[in-house]
Amino acid sequence: MSYVLILGAKGDMAKELARVYAKNGYNLYLAAREASTLEDLKQDIEVRSGVDVELVEFDITAFETHEKFYTSLKKRPLGVIVVAGFMCEQKVAQNDWSKTLQTINVNYTGALSILNIVANDFEKERHGFIVGISSVAGDRGRKTNYIYGSAKAGFSAYLSGLRNRLYESGVSVLTVKPGFVNTKMTESLDLPKNLTAQPEDVAEDIFKAQQRGRNIIYTKSIWMFIMLIIKHIPEFIFKKMSI
């Protein structure tokens, strides 16, 4: 069976995606910094699903290493999923340029760097799929997280253009826009339970959407309607709001 490359494989969503793709018969490349820390996950997946799991070292912000990283994979992947993400509090980012830059480089620049390489390869082969984890935060800038949201907005726009470009090559591109998800990245936040998804549910949604050739999904799906409302609030009203 073909390999799926998961970039940013140490996150909660990424681990659940690994389990979902493995149980459906896909071999895996799990790519992350200090990838050896994923050894227990690798062994568990291999025992449960009987697939091959390779741990590969990858730093999404080390742009100069991306070409060598991709070409050194022992077998070209059928699909690539970018799950890597970084979010800190808005007030921290707006007062610390290093945190702003980290937000941009992890959520946007680094993702583009590796996906440019992947897209060129997939376009040449006329086969494959790309999944990018964006966010509902990118649908409209809000004062509570506009630095993070602007990086995700840029990533969503990139994925849209990539989908347009690669359509004729038979390569699918899925943009995933999660709302609140119960992960380590959000554990300090007081999230509404009825609007908060579990990582395993998000992973199942992503797998089903990718297999069906979908273009964009919100997960939970209710976020599509929430963001539709938020996007249509007139600016003269929206600028006075705290949401």
- Are 113 and 127 within 8 A, CB to CB? no
Q: In sequence order, which ranges of 24-166 are alpha helices (DSSP H)? A: 39-49, 66-71, 90-95, 97-104, 110-125, 146-166
Rounded (5°) CA angle 202-67-4 = 30
Quote the tokens at residue 46.
């291999």
Per-residue pLDDT of the chain (243 residues; tens, 9 = 90+): 799 999 999 999 999 999 999 999 999 999 999 999 999 999 999 999 999 999 999 999 999 999 999 999 999 999 999 999 999 999 999 999 999 999 999 999 999 999 999 999 999 999 999 999 999 999 999 999 999 999 999 999 999 999 999 999 999 999 999 999 988 767 666 677 889 999 999 999 999 999 999 999 999 999 999 999 999 999 999 999 998
Helix axes 110-125 and 146-166, enclosed angle (nearest 10): 10
Is-cis flag, bond preceding 177, omega within 30?
no
3-state DSSP assignment of residue 72: coil
Q: Which domains does the chain have, with CATH numbers?
A: 3-238 (3.40.50.720)
**pTM, to two decimals:** 0.95
